[in-house]
Structure 1
Amino acid sequence: MAGGADCGDAAYARQHVFLLPEYLKDTSKKMKSGLMFVKLVNPCSGEGTLYLFDMCLLQLFEVKVFKEKHHSWFINQSVQSGGLLHFATPMDPLFLLLHYLIKADKEGTFQPLDQVVMDDMFPNCNLLLKLPELEKLLQHVTEEKEINNKKYYKYSKEKTLMWLEKKVNQTMTALKTNNINVSARVQSSAFFSGNQASSDKEEDYICYAHGLISDYIPKELSDDLSKHLKLPEPSAPLPNPPSKKVKLSDDPVEAKEDYTKFNSKDLKTEKKNSKMTAAQKALAKVDKTGMKSIASFFGTTNKKTVGKI
């Protein structure tokens, strides 16, 4: 575990926590710039990504970050908020070289490697040319020609797919050796024993290993690798069931019951009586035979004719 501080005032310098291989702990002591962080192209997305380069061993490391909420580090006498944990793991540089080889293949000619690995956005890509046994690595993914004691290279898709197939097989072996559960039912082996993990189908391991390798190659090459491995097509998502909507129609709606059987007069009387006072209800029960209403005295029949004088 190593801590690195950003530039600035030492009292307020931010530090980071790294997990590094044991053999790298003395690298910075042997050489002033033994470990160097460089920004190189991501072979999958094509965007810039931070990598760690060992200038002593000329080795490339991938940097992964583990982030957890509400986490801090106690470093010496200081507390660093954020709680980020960085992992540096060795990475095959051929994945990064593939990005430039595929890009240069559009011209369809053999080219010297120093003209292939060029990038104005990421000038540190020339560090890849210093890697040991570089020519041996390129044999896995390129066709080679030598003219006047100078070697020229051209991307080979056929060789690359065979090399990637070996990578998939190596990944599968590592998954099985460590009893990693890779079935479609679960993405973690935390709740499964080794016996349960070993029950996974061979197809599950191939698909899972292909997915891991695909994180380091372009999408188009990943699709070609899937066909090369004869992997099944990803199942299409099930369509959503049709929504149950009320069917609207222009036809008149027929009543399912005969509401005429109810006496509307009784309903009105009942509704009216429910709002009457006790005195009004008693008056309503009086026999009104032969009685005239007050309004009848003010009718048109009782109007007198007034003549002119």
Structure 2
Amino acid sequence: VASEYLEDVSKKAKSGLMFVKLVNPCSGEGAIYLFTICLQQLFEVKVFKEKHHSCFINQSVQSRGLVHFATPVDPLFLLLHYLMKADKKGKFQPLDQVVVDNVFPNCILLLKLPELEKVLHHVTEEKEIDNKKHYKYSEKKTLKWLEEKSTSFFSGDQVSTDKEEDYILYAHGLISDYIPKELSNDLSKYLKLPEPSASLPNPPSKKIRFRGCSCRETHTV
């Protein structure tokens, strides 16, 4: 389904929805995302595949093995991929010179998200040069931001019945799906998490409340 939209992005833009291929910030490979023109929001598209599966479409039952889910994703995760690459040059740069990708040219859409500039301070140092803002990746700020993300996944009443460390381990695992392996390791050290071992308990099996939603699997980052 997504490949059909990718053939002609401009036509799909007129409908207010664009399926685009952007970099997966964890693997560095391509992944399908949904960009809404009207809401100016980014969604990741996940595919649930099952051999024996049917679903209702209007008034009929369709036998299909694929279900596509679109869930909101924080664009800063994708931006981190480019900021960390640009940081190797060790200098401040305009954002439009940082977010450049010949393989995934639609990455420029990230810069059109209206709230992006307001949250860049979470992961960058900022400097104004010739009346234009320049940015540089900040590992210190990024780790602090990711720490706040980790603790936002669970509420205080849950910590009283389960070890806080178990929840942070679980949250770290979720966030690691959206950041490079190197940054995931740095975050683990920053959170002072124990080294993985067979003796560690499994993540909490009870339902966890993610941003006000009680569920087992569904979550947004």
Q: TM-score, normalised by structure 1?
A: 0.57
Deviations 1:231-260 (A, max 9, x none): 1111268xxxxxxxxxxxxxxxxxxxxxxx
Contact 1:73 1:83 in 2 (8 A): no
1:60 aligns with 2:42: yes
- Distance in 1 between the 2:66 and 2:49 partners? 5
Give the number of the structure whose alpha-carbon radius of gyration is greater.
Answer: 1
Q: Aligned pair in 2 of structure 1 residues 165, 76: CA closer, same or farther (>3 Å)? A: closer
> Which amino acid in structure 2 is aligned with residue 151 of structure 1?
K
184, 193, 213: which one pairs with 2:175? 213
> Which amino acid in structure 2 is aligned with residue 68 of structure 1?
E
- Distance in 2 between the 1:34 and 1:68 partners? 30
Q: Aligned pair in 2 of structure 1 residues 123, 76: CA closer, same or farther (>3 Å)? A: same
The corresponding residue for 2:7 is: none
The corresponding residue for 2:203 is: none
140, 143, 150: which one pairs with 1:158? 140
Shift of 1:137: 1.3
Aligned runs of 1:120-199 on 2, under 5 Å?
120-173=102-155, 199=161
Deviations 1:57-110 (A, max 9, x none): 110011112222212345458764433221111110000000000000000011
Deviations 1:19-52 (A, max 9, x none): xxxxxxxxxxxx8321110000000000000000
5+ unaligned residues in a row in structure 2: which ranges?
Answer: 5-12, 200-221
5+ unaligned residues in a row in structure 1: which ranges?
Answer: 8-30, 180-196, 238-309
The corresponding residue for 2:197 is: 235
Bigger RCO of structures 1 and 2 (CA < 8 A, at least 6 apart): 2
- Distance in 2 between the 1:110 and 1:142 partners? 10
- Distance in 2 between the 1:108 and 1:60 partners? 29
- Distance in 1 between the 2:120 and 2:94 partners? 12
Contact 2:94 2:133 in 1 (8 A): yes
Moved over 6 A (4+): 4-7
> Which amino acid in structure 2 is aligned with residue 228 of structure 1?
Y
Shift of 1:200: 2.4
> Which amino acid in structure 1 is aligned with residue 167 of structure 2?
Y
Residues matched between the structures, number: 191
Please provide the CA RMSD for this pair: 2.4
Deviations 1:8-29 (A, max 9, x none): xxxxxxxxxxxxxxxxxxxxxx
Q: Aligned pair in 2 of structure 1 residues 164, 77: CA closer, same or farther (>3 Å)? A: closer
The corresponding residue for 2:163 is: 201
- Distance in 2 between the 1:6 and 1:171 partners? 33
Q: TM-score, normalised by structure 2?
A: 0.79
